Structure 1
Amino acid sequence: MDFSAIQESINKIEGVILSKVVHEKGEISEIHVLANNNKSPKQIVRDIESALYVIHNYKIDKNKISIASIQGEELLNKEKRVKFSSVELRNKQNKVECTVTLSYDDKEYTVEEMDINTTLNRKKIVLKTTLKAVEEILGLDNIFDGQEVIINTSIGVSVVTVIVITLITGKEEVLVGSALVKNDEYEAIARAALDAVNRTILMTTK
């Protein structure tokens, strides 16, 4: 097991400043994380669980993860955050059309994408369209790639986690975002996508 690669993946998660992976006899015994206040400790733990499972096929016991939060130097300015407005899916024979509208700086941005109408694609097209809308806001093309949409349900609560690859710094970085499913699963996917990329947006638009 490549513990250095695991630690690198954790360090790329939004909210994580620094991490230390402790291992014994080829297994992870502890993960210590220094984080800012962009996300709650519980959210960061969930993001670490999802990232390790999706990227490294490793299921980590959440009790092995400890989070120490400090006042981050990059606390998100809420005025700089891209906000969700709406998502709509329409069936067109064997295709599905997705329309996502986001708001930023008092302006609305609407993007439409189309794909083959399968159960998996209906989820992924929401992620893809949301990321395309963010690219339009930034005035940049081909900087986000939606990799995975994961939906977990426990004690009656469903959580969407998305994995996004970004090339905005010139090299591949992994972004992870999550959102609770409240009323609509597709809305939660779009909100999870924004959760993944909003820190990147802040850094790009400073």
Structure 2
Amino acid sequence: MSAKTLEDIISKISGVISVKVVEEDGQPREIHVIADPSRNPKQIVRDIETVALASLGMKLDRRIISVAQLSQGRYSPTASYEITSIEVKDHGKKKQVRVTINNPFEEEELTGESVGPGTSTNLPRIVGEAVIEAFDLDSPVSVDDVQKAFLAGKEFVLVHLTVQDNEKERAEVGVAPLEGDFLKAVAKATLRVIRDLA
């Protein structure tokens, strides 16, 4: 397999502007991609893995793939993720939550599930965990706390998350307005953090 062959295949992926494959001992060691902002970089990486396996029988390590996106104004494809449904079912003595997330721009539908004690304090955390499970994240993320807060006369839901990046941890807080459906607000607040990690 030549670097040129792999470059030709990757260049046909939607959103890819240019690609450079660096070889070592006949094997790809680095894959550098420049892409437009129309697609999520993680989706482009997945497509590269898929086409390499399907076309060349080559299993790539996603860690050798880097995607740089050219900016075009204030457009952000991650903003198009939407919570379309939240299902809560009894799972023995626990609750099972299934969250469906739609990204109409990429014609992509994601689903995530989580199970845990269905207490009033824990159920919101299960919803947040289901949102996290919908994304194939490289870094572990935990839902630590969910709170309501009043700001400027309006009620909001705050979700505190801890993201582990290598050996370091950092706190992230997602916020969403509470507009009747508490669990949906929890899912939206979690999504606002997770979509930027995906």
TM-score, normalised to structure 2's length? 0.55
Counterpart of 2:195 in 1: which secondary structure?
Answer: helix
User: Contact 1:150/1:161 (CA < 8 Å) preserved in 2?
Assistant: yes
From the two aligned structures, give the one with the greater helix fraction.
Answer: 1
Equivalent residue for 1:190? 187
Structure with higher Rg: it is 2
- Residues of 2 paired with 1:86 and 1:168: CA distance? 29
2:84 aligns with 85
Distance 1:176 1:150 in 2: 11
**1:144 and 1:167 in contact (8 A); partners too:** yes
CA apart distance, 1:95: 1.1
* Matched letter for residue 84 of structure 1: I
TM-score of the superposed pair, with normalisation by structure 1:
0.53
Match of 1:21 in 2: none
Shift, 1:156, TM fit: 6.5
Query: Is contact 1:126-1:190 (8 Å) kept?
Result: yes
RMSD over equivalenced CA pairs, Å: 2.6
Distance, in Å, in 2 between the alignment partners of 1:148 and 1:77 is 31
- Distance in 1, matches of 2:77 and 2:97, equals 27
Distance 1:197 1:110, change over 3 A: closer
Matched to 1:111, the amino acid is G
Give me the whole-angstrom Cα distance separating, in 1, the residues matched to 2:98 and 2:134: 10
| Runs ≥4 residues deviating over 6 A | none
Match of 1:106 in 2: 107
What's 2:164 paired with? 167
Matched AA of 2:93? N
Distance 1:76 1:127 in 2: 28
For CA contacts below 8 A with separation 6 or more, give which structure has more relative contact order.
1
Contact 1:123 1:149 in 2 (8 A): yes
